[in-house]
Amino acid sequence: MSGQRLGILLFLASIGFITVVDTVAKYLTAELHAVELVWGYFLGIFLYLVSYVVFLRRQRRRMLRTRRPGLHVLRSGLLVASITTLFVGLTYLPIADATVIGFTAPLFIVALSVPLLGERVGPHRWIAVLLGLAGVVVIVRPGGGIAHWAAFMPLIGAVAFALYQIATRVLARTEATATTLFYTAAGGFFWTSVLVPFFWTTPTPPQWLAFFFIGALGAAAHLCLIRGFELAQASLLAPFNYSKLVWAALLGYLVFGDWPSLNTLAGCALIVGSGLYVILRERGTAPDGP
C-alpha cells in the first residue's frame, strides 16, 4: 500500500473515531451535563498522554519544552469551548444536524485568516463563505428547519474551532507536534476541571468506563490524524473531512433512529459544495486566481 493511501485510511479512521466520540457523548447527555462529558473526554486523553510521557522518558523534556505557553492555554480553551458547545447541541439535536452545522468551521477559518493571519482572501473564497453560511440558514431557519436555540451552539463551536485552528497554525511555526498535542490535552483538562464542579454529577462505574473509552478514541484520533498528515498532503486529505457526514448519519440512524431532514440535506449540500470549492481552488484546479 502506498504512503498516500495509508495516509487517507488513517485520516478516515481518525474521522470515524471522532464521530463515535460524538455518538457516545450524545448518548450520555441524557445523564450528564455536556461540561462534565468534555471533562471526562480530556481526562481520558490526558491520562493516556501522561502514560506516554512517563514511558518515553528520553523524549519527556523535549515534549514539555515550549516557547508559547500562553498561546497553548488560549488554544486549549478554544478547543474546550468548541467541544462543549457541540456537546450541548448534541443534547437537543440529531447528531447529523449538529455535525453539518459544525462543518462551517473551515469557512470561518477563511474569513478570520484575513485579520488574524494577514492572509489574502480573494472573491471566490468569500463566495464560498457566503454559500456555506447560506447552508446554515437553510438548516436552522425557523418554521421549516431546526427551530431550536441549540442549533446555534454548534455554530458558536464552529467559530471557536476556527480560532483554535488559526492558533494551531501559529504554534506550528515554533512548536513540535508532540508538544502541541500534550498541551492540548493538559490545557483542556485544566479548563474543564475549573468548570466541572458547577455541573458535577458523580459518575457511575459504566460512565467512568465511557470517559476512558472516549479518551482512548480521542487519543487514537489525534495520533491517526498526525500520522495521516505525515503521509499525505493536506489538500489531498481535506475533502475526506466530509466523510464525517456519512458516519454521523449512519450512527445517528442506528443508535438514535434519527435521519437527516430535507432541510439538513439541502443545507449540507451548500456547506459541502462551498468547502469543496475552496479546496479545489487551493489545489489549483480552477483557472482564475485566488
DSSP per-residue letters across 151-189: GHHHHHHHHHHHHHHHHHHHHTTTS-HHHHHHHHHHHHH
Calculate the CA 247 to chain-centre distance.
14
The values of phi and psi at residue 56, to 5°, are -100, 75
pLDDT of residue 287: 40
Q: Is 214 or 165 the better-scoring residue by pLDDT?
A: 214
Stretch among 206-220, 248-262, 263-277 having the lowest mean pLDDT: 263-277
State mean pLDDT over 244-250.
Answer: 79
In angstroms, rounded to a whole number, what is the distance separating the alpha carbons of residues 225 and 284?
24
Q: What is the DSSP letter of 248?
A: H
And the C-alpha cell for 96?
A: 447529523
State mean pLDDT over 227-232.
Answer: 74
Taking CA atoms, 19 is separated from 77, 86, 95, 164, 252, in Å, by 21, 12, 9, 19, 10
DSSP character string of 34-85: HHHHHHHHHHHHHHHHHHHHHH-GGGHHHHH--S-HHHHHHHHHHHHHHHHH
Is the four-CA dihedral 145, 133, 95, 207 of positive or negative sign? negative
Stretch among 101-110, 137-146, 163-172, 242-251 having the lowest mean pLDDT: 137-146
Q: What percent of the chain has pLDDT over 90?
A: 22
Q: Is 240 or 145 the better-scoring residue by pLDDT?
A: 240
In angstroms, rounded to a whole number, what is the distance separating the alpha carbons of residues 275 and 270?
9
Q: Is the predicted pLDDT of residue 143 greater than 60, yes or no?
A: no
- E strand or H helix at 216: helix 205-231
In angstroms, rounded to a whole number, what is the distance separating the alpha carbons of residues 130 and 148?
22
Identify the CA nearest to 105 among candidates 194, 217, 229, 18. Answer: 18
Q: What is the pLDDT of residues 44-71, one digit of tens each?
A: 998 888 887 667 656 666 677 888 888 9
| pTM above threshold 0.85 | no
Q: How many distinct helices (H) and strands (E) make up the chain?
A: 13, 0
Is 254 buried (19+), middle (13-18) or exposed (0-12) by CB count in 10 A? exposed
Q: Kindly list the domain boundaries of the chain, sorted by start residue.
A: 3-282
